[in-house]
Amino acid sequence: MFGAIEAGGTKFVCAVGTSPDDLKLAQFPTSSPEATISGAIEFLRDQSDGELKAVGIGSFGPVDLRLNSPTFGYITSTPKSGWQNYDFAGAIRTALSVPVGFDTDVNAAALGEARWGAAQSLSDFLYLTIGTGIGGGAVVNGRVLHGLLHPEMGHIRIPHDFNHDPYLGYCPFHGDCLEGLASGPAMQQRWGESPEGLPANHPAWALEAHYLALGLANWVCTLSPRCIVLGGGVMQQHWLFEMIRKDLSQSLNGYVRAKELMENLDRYVIPPGLGNRSGIIGALVLAEQAYQKQQELGSLRRK
Amino acid sequence: MFGAIEAGGTKFVCAVGTSPDDLKLAQFPTSSPEATISGAIEFLRDQSDGELKAVGIGSFGPVDLRLNSPTFGYITSTPKSGWQNYDFAGAIRTALSVPVGFDTDVNAAALGEARWGAAQSLSDFLYLTIGTGIGGGAVVNGRVLHGLLHPEMGHIRIPHDFNHDPYLGYCPFHGDCLEGLASGPAMQQRWGESPEGLPANHPAWALEAHYLALGLANWVCTLSPRCIVLGGGVMQQHWLFEMIRKDLSQSLNGYVRAKELMENLDRYVIPPGLGNRSGIIGALVLAEQAYQKQQELGSLRRK
C-alpha cells in the first residue's frame, strides 16, 4: 500500500492505495506548511494502518529535484507565503519513516498518464496542464525530463499581436509569456469573467486556442512528442480541443510530415485518460518507484 | 577504424579514423545522390584499406529515424532535387557491408560535443546550429532525443514586432518562425548583406541576438538543459555570444533560479568545443555506436 500527495498552491489531494481502482482520497485547502502537512500525514497514517511502504509527492514549485543536492525535495523560491525553502520530502520522510518519491506536479501527472492513462506504452509524450498556471511534464525515451532544474514550460514566449489582443499579460516575470496570455487568471483578467463563465461562442476561445496551439507547435518542433495530453481547469471546456487541433494544424502547415500530425490530430492532442486524477495517481507511481529503488539498494547492499 | 559522413545540403564531409586526433578528412559539394554517394564511398574505401568496422552518417533532413520503419535511414521529404525518399543508410551499407549508424546532422553534432567537445559528461544539454538553417539536437537523461520523428527546433514561433522589424521572414512554411527570422539567408535577405559582411556595430546583430535569445529562453523553459552549445556559420561572428547571453538573461528575468543561468551564463551559452567539426566527429560516434550494437547482437546470438 502506497501513499500519494498532490500538492497544489490552493489545495492538497492525498491518497492511499495501490492503483486507480483502489484508492482512498481526501482533499483540503493549502494553508501553512505545518498545518497542511500535518493534515496530510494524519490522513496517510489513518488510512494505511501502518502498512505504508512509500509515499510519492507531486508538488507545486519551483522545487529542487537534484538528487545529490542538500536541498533535494525542497520547495524553493515560491511566492507562496511560508513555503519558501520548505523541506517537503524531508518532513514526510521523518514523520512516516518510509521512502519518499518527489517530483513536480506536472511530472507526476505525466507519470500517471504513462502508467494508467492516455499515454500508456508511449516512450515520448508531453503532459500539459492549463489552469491557474500552465505547466508541462515531458517523457523522453521513456523517462521524465528533469535537466538542470525542471522545465517551466508555461513561460515560453509566443507571438502576441497587440493590435488584435492589447492585453499585456498576467505573468509577474514575463508579462505576455504563454502563461501570462493563456492561463485561467489571464482569461479572467482579460475578459472580466472566469473561463467556466465564458460560453462556447465567446471570442475568448478562438484566442485561447490560438495561443495554446502556438505553444503546442513549439513543443512539437522541440520535443517531437508522440502525443500531447491536455489537462487542467481551462481544458474542462471541451470544445477547446478541436479548436486547438485546427489551429495547430495551420501553425505547423504540413512541415512535420508524420501521419499523427497530418491526419490523426484527434488522437494526438487528447484529454487525460485519468481525468483530473492524473496528478494524484502519478504521485502513487512516484511512491512505487521510491519503494522499488529502496528494494534495489537493499538487495545491492546484501550482495 | 570507423567511417563518418556529415551530409549537408551544400557539402559533404567524409572522414576515416578513430578520434578527433586521428582523422583523415575530405570535403566535396553535394550534387546528385548517385555522384555524391559514390564519391563518399570511394573515399571511405580508399582511406581505410578495407579495415572499416562501421560507418556513421549525420544527415540533412528530414530523415526517417524510426528503427522499425521500412524507410529507416532514408532522407524523406526534402525539397532538395533528387534526394527525396533516398535510402542513404542502405546505399552505404550495401556498398561497404558494414553496420551503419544514422541520425540527423544536429543530433550527430550533439553526440560529438558530448563525447569530445564542450558538453562532456553532461546528461542534458542542447546543441544548436545557426547557419543556412537553424537546427537543434537535444540530449536528455544522457540520450539523444528523437521522439515521433526528430525535432525541427528552428521552426518554433517567437514574438516578432513588425513595427521594429517589418521583414516577413524567409521560411517557405511558416514565414517568420525563428529560422525564418534569424538564419543566415534571412539576415542576407533582410539586410542585403551576408552575416560575414555585416560589421560588429551593425544593428543587425542586436536584432539577431534578440531573436536567438528568445529561442534559447523557450528551450531553457522546455528542456532545462545544463548548457547550450551554439555552432554554425552565423555564430562565427563571436561577438554574438555575449549579446545573446545578455538578452537571454533579460528574457528569463530571474525566473529560473539556477546559478548556471543567474551568474554563469558565460559558461552556459558556449561555442562548440570541436569548432566546425562537431558534426563529422559526431558521425564517428554514430559509427562506433553502430559497431558496438552489432557486437552486442552477435554476442546475444552466440549465447
Contact B261, B226 (CB under 8 A): no
* pTM for this prediction: 0.97
Average pLDDT of chain A is 96
Q: Residues B121-136: what's their mean pLDDT?
A: 97
End-to-end, the C-alpha distance of chain B in Å comes to 27
Query: Hey, what's the cell of A150?
Result: 525542471
SS (H, E, C) chain A: CEEEEEECCCEEEEEEEEECCEEEEEEEECCCHHHHHHHHHHHHHHHHCCCCCEEEEEECCCECCCCCCCCCCEECCCCCCCCCCEEHHHHHHHHHCCCEEEEEHHHHHHHHHHHHCCCCCCCCEEEEEECCCEEEEEEECCEECCCCCCCCHHHCECCCCCCCCCCCCCECCCECEHHHHHCHHHHHHHHCCCHHHCCCCCCHHHHHHHHHHHHHHHHHHHHCCCCEEEECHHHHCCHHHHHHHHHHHHHHCCCCCCHHHHCCHHHCEECCCCHHHHHHHHHHHHHHHHHHHHHHHHHHHHC
**Confidence grade of residue B303 (pLDDT, cut at 50, 70, 90):** confident
Question: A10: distance to nearest CA of chain B, Å?
Answer: 21
Q: What is the pLDDT of residue B169?
A: 98
Mean pLDDT of the A73-78 span: 92
**Least confident range of A77-81, A98-102, B292-296:** A77-81
Q: What is the pLDDT of residue B80?
A: 87
Q: Which positions in chain B touch A160 (Cβ < 8 Å)?
A: 159
pLDDT confidence of residue A232: 96
Q: Which residues of A touch B225 (CB under 8 A)?
A: 147-148
pLDDT digits (tens, 9 = 90+) for A178-187: 999 999 999 9
**Nearest by CB: A224 against B149, B156, B176:** B149
**Range A258-278 average pLDDT:** 96
Nearest neighbour of B214 by CB, restricted to A140, A157, A217: A157
pLDDT in tens, B55-88: 999 999 899 999 899 999 999 988 889 999 999 9
Considering only A74-78, A127-131, B56-60, B153-157, which range has the smallest mean pLDDT?
A74-78
Angle (CA) A273 A274 A276, round 5°: 125
DSSP 8-state class, residue B72: T
User: Quick check: A85 contacting B, CB < 8 Å?
Assistant: no
Cell numbers representing residue B190 in the block = 533582410
In this complex, which of A141, A148, A153 lies closest to B258 when CB atoms are compared? A148
| Residues of A (196-255) whose Cβ lies below 8 Å from B | 214, 217-219, 221-226, 251, 253-255
Could A151 and B221 be called an inter-chain contact, meaning their C-beta atoms sit closer than 8 Å?
Answer: yes
**In this prediction, what percent of chain B has a pLDDT beyond 90?**
93
Mean pLDDT (chain B, rounded): 96
Does residue B100 have a pLDDT over 80?
yes
CB contact under 8 A, A258 and B149: yes
A204 pLDDT above the threshold of 90: yes
Report yes or no: B221 and B258 within 8 Å, Cβ to Cβ.
Answer: no
Pairing relation of β-strands B269-270 and B228-231? parallel
The distance from CA A232 to its chain's CA centroid, rounded to whole angstroms, is: 8
Query: How far is C-alpha A248 from the chain's CA centre?
Result: 21
Using the predicted structure, report yes or no on whether residue A251 has a pLDDT greater than 90: yes
Checking if the pLDDT of B300 tops 90, the result is: no
- Provide the residue count of chain A: 303
- The Cα of B252 is separated from the nearest Cα of chain A by a number of Å equal to 8
Asked whether the beta carbons of residue A148 and residue B253 sit closer than 8 angstroms, the reply is no
Q: ipTM score here?
A: 0.96
Flag if A218 and B140 touch (Cβ within 8 Å). no
Residue pointed to by grid coordinates 514575463: A174
pLDDT range class, residue B184, cuts 50, 70, 90: very high
Count interface pairs A-B at CB distance under 8 A: 145
Return the DSSP state at B250: H
A73 φ/ψ sector (left φ>0, alpha ψ -120 to 50, else beta): left
Count CB atoms within 10 A of the CB of residue B263: 10
HSE, CB side, 13 Å, CA atoms: give it for residue B134.
32
pLDDT digit string, tens, across residues A106-146:
999 999 999 999 999 999 999 999 999 999 999 999 999 99
pLDDT-derived band at A61 (thresholds 50, 70, 90) equals: confident
A2-7/A11-19 β-pairing: antiparallel
**Spatial distance between the Cα atoms of B166 and A300, rounded to a whole number of angstroms:** 63
Whether B145 and A214 lie within 8 Å, measured CB to CB: no
Chain A: give the shortest CA distance to residue B162, in Å. Answer: 9
- Beta partners for residue B6, in sequence order: B13, B58
Of A62, A224, A226, nearest to B151 by CB-CB distance is A224
Q: Which of A222-231, B131-140, B251-260 has the lowest mean pLDDT?
A: B251-260
* B165 has pLDDT over 80: yes
**CA atoms of B136 and B153, how far apart (whole Å):** 5
| Residue B301 confidence (pLDDT) | 87
C-alpha A2: how far from chain center: 20
Q: Could you tell me which chain B residue has the CA closest to the CA of A260?
A: B148
**Overall average pLDDT of the B237-258 stretch:** 96
Contact A156, A138 (CB under 8 A): no
Residue A78 confidence (pLDDT): 86
User: What are φ and ψ of residue B101, in 5° steps?
Assistant: -95, 145
Helical pair A204-223 and A184-191, crossing angle rounded to 10 deg? 150
b/e per residue B75-110 (b: at least 16 CB within 10 A):
bebbeeeebeebbbbebbbebbebbbbbbbbbbbbb
Nearest CA in chain A to B147: A224
As a whole number of angstroms, the distance between CA B15 and CA A288 comes to: 48
**In angstroms, rounded to a whole number, what is the distance separating the alpha carbons of residues B291 and B3?**
11
What does the pLDDT read at residue A50? 84
Give the largest Cα separation in chain B, rounded: 68
Angle formed by the axes of helices B204-223 and B184-191, to 10°?
150
Task: Quickly tell me which residue has 508531453 as its cell.
Answer: A126
What gap in Å lies between CA A60 and CA A154, rounded to an integer? 13
Q: What tens digit of pLDDT does each residue of B7-17 get?
A: 998 999 999 99
Of residues A150, A152, A218, nearest to B255 (C-beta) = A152
Yes or no, beta carbons of B148 and A219 under 8 Å apart: no
Parallel, antiparallel or unpaired: strands A54-59 and A100-104 = parallel
Is residue A301 predicted with pLDDT exceeding 90? no
Region label for A142, one of left (φ > 0), alpha (ψ between -120 and 50) or beta (otherwise): left
B211: nearest CA partner in chain A: A157
